[in-house]
């Protein structure tokens, strides 16, 4: 089996789902590094990696989705809820920019009182204030779906409103494991997988950029993980160039209802390699410093080519993530692995149109 897979990778052929499963279960770490680096080499110089500094600004922790893996949310009438004002959002952005940051990911909860015009107003204010000096992800696909529903508008209408307000990007966040059995166990109120992709289709049809994400380390089966990759690769085939990057990170179990233990770095890295090898239609694979700290940089040897240096993310910090602002130490760790690290600008929007 390994010879057959290695031949496919060397000759730029696609590997199948069962081959990805075989690799994850049987290949050595060295083999995974080698194969993932070969696929990486189709898109990027072998010894170069890129990064940017970014913050995830959590504008509200009010959420009615009640995912059992989340330590961040508060129900609407619970103590400790908050909603940032536009001025407070600006303060958070300014703090990130003072640290060299160029990108913000807005991420809140499923707030039942916030409708799309509220978000559009906030994002318009952010775009007007920072113009092209800042890029931002307006919201995650999951929040986008919920907000369209409570606003009683279609995904196409929601995407058009965001675009008109100055939003250029939505992140594929809130995806965790895109498998309906997984969703039924842990977040039955969030969405169904095909609905998620309906929303993604509307977003890219509107000319907005989007990304692909995944979170592992809950109780998901290997089959559920592979379902996520298989559906994602199909979406990317159907929308060539629409998803320029894929980020996989790990579940943090502290103070969550689900609990559990943290996924070991070795398994994270092995899965990262599978993602790189299998997702042959997504150019950038990003490794997660947010949840794996310095270990994430080893991911550059397992097929990743890019990483964020985060300055804040309350969602993962509440569940146990630790953030270091010692950027040079982290960059030195990447250099020590033999990579030249280049600060990059946020990606340009994909130059593609979908109908």
C-beta of 218: minimal distance to ligand SF4 in Å? 12
Please report whether residue 290 would count as binding ligand SF4 according to CB under 6 A.
no
59, 72, 235, 278: which one contacts ligand SF4 (CB under 6 A)? 72
Query: How far apart are CB 48 and ligand SF4 at their closest, in Å?
Result: 34
Identity of the residue, 105 or 109, whose beta carbon is nearer to ligand SF4 in the bound complex: 109
Determine the 3-state secondary structure of 53 from DSSP. strand
Which residue, among 26, 8, 57, 90, has the nearest Cα to 313 in the 3D structure? Answer: 57
* Identified binder of ligand SF4 from the candidate list 50, 187, 200, 227, rule CB under 6 A: 187
Task: Draw the binding track, 143-182, toward ligand SF4 (x: CB under 6 A; -: no contact).
Answer: ----------------------------------------
The answer to whether 6 touches 35, Cβ cutoff 8 Å, is yes
Q: What is the DSSP string of 279-343?
A: -TT-SEEEE-HHHHGGGGGGGGGGT--EEEEES--HHHHHTT------HHHHHHHHHHTT-EEEE
Instruction: Tell me: does residue 310 bind ligand SF4 (CB under 6 A).
Output: no
Look at the alpha carbons of 127, 131, 134, 136 in this order and tell me if their dihedral is positive or negative: positive
Q: What residues form DSSP beta bridges with 306?
A: 50, 286
For residue 65, state whether it binds ligand SF4 (rule: CB under 6 A).
yes
Q: Quick check: 110 binds ligand SF4 (CB under 6 A)?
A: yes
Of the candidate spans 58-66, 123-131, 202-210, 243-251, the one that interacts with ligand SF4 by CB under 6 A turns out to be 58-66
CA distance 61 to 47: 40
Name the segment binding ligand SF4 (CB under 6 A); options: 13-21, 33-41, 64-72, 240-248: 64-72
Q: How many residues bind ligand SF4 (CB under 6 A)?
A: 12
Site membership for ligand SF4, residue 291 (CB under 6 A): no
Q: Is 74 helix (H, G, I), strand (E, B) or coil?
A: strand
CB of 336 to ligand SF4, least distance (A): 34
Q: In degrees rounded to 5, what are phi and psi of residue 138?
A: -60, -45
CA distance 181 to 21: 19
Write out the residues near ligand SF4 by the rule CB under 6 A: 63, 65-67, 70, 72-73, 109-110, 142, 187, 190
């Amino acid at each position: 089996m390994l010879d057959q897979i290695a031949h496919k990778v060397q000759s730029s052929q696609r590997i199948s789902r069962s081959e990805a499963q075989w690799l994850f279960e049987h290949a050595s770490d060295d083999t995974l590094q080698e194969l993932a680096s070969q696929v990486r080499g189709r898109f990027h110089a072998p010894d170069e990696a890129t990064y940017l500094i970014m913050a995830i600004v959590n504008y509200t922790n009010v959420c009615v989705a009640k995912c059992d893996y989340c330590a961040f949310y508060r129900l609407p009438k619970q103590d400790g809820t908050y909603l940032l004002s536009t001025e407070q959002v600006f303060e958070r952005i300014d703090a990130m920019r003072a640290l060299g940051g160029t990108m913000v990911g807005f991420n809140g909860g499923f707030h039942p009182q916030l409708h799309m015009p509220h978000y559009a107003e906030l994002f318009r204010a952010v775009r007007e204030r920072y113009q092209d000096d800042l890029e931002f992800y307006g919201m995650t696909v999951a929040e986008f779906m919920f907000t369209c529903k409570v606003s009683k508008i279609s995904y196409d209408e929601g995407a058009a409103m965001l675009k008109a307000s100055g939003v250029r990007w939505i992140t594929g966040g809130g995806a965790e494991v895109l498998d309906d059995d997984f969703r039924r166990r842990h977040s039955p109120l969030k969405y169904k997988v095909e609905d998620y992709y309906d929303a993604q289709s509307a977003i890219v049809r509107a000319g907005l950029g989007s990304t692909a994400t995944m979170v592992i380390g809950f109780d998901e089966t290997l089959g559920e993980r592979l379902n996520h990759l298989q559906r994602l690769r199909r979406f990317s085939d159907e929308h060539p160039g629409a998803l320029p990057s894929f980020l996989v990170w790990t579940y943090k179990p502290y103070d969550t209802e689900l609990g559990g233990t943290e996924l070991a770095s070795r398994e994270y890295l092995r899965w990262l390699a599978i993602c790189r090898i299998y997702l042959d239609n997504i150019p950038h694979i990003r490794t997660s410093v947010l949840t794996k700290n310095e270990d994430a940089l080893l991911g550059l040897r397992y097929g990743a080519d890019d990483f964020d240096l985060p300055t804040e993310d309350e969602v993962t910090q509440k569940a146990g993530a630790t953030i270091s602002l010692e950027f040079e130490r982290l960059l030195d760790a990447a250099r020590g692995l033999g990579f030249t690290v280049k600060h990059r600008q946020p990606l340009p929007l994909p130059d593609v149109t979908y109908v």
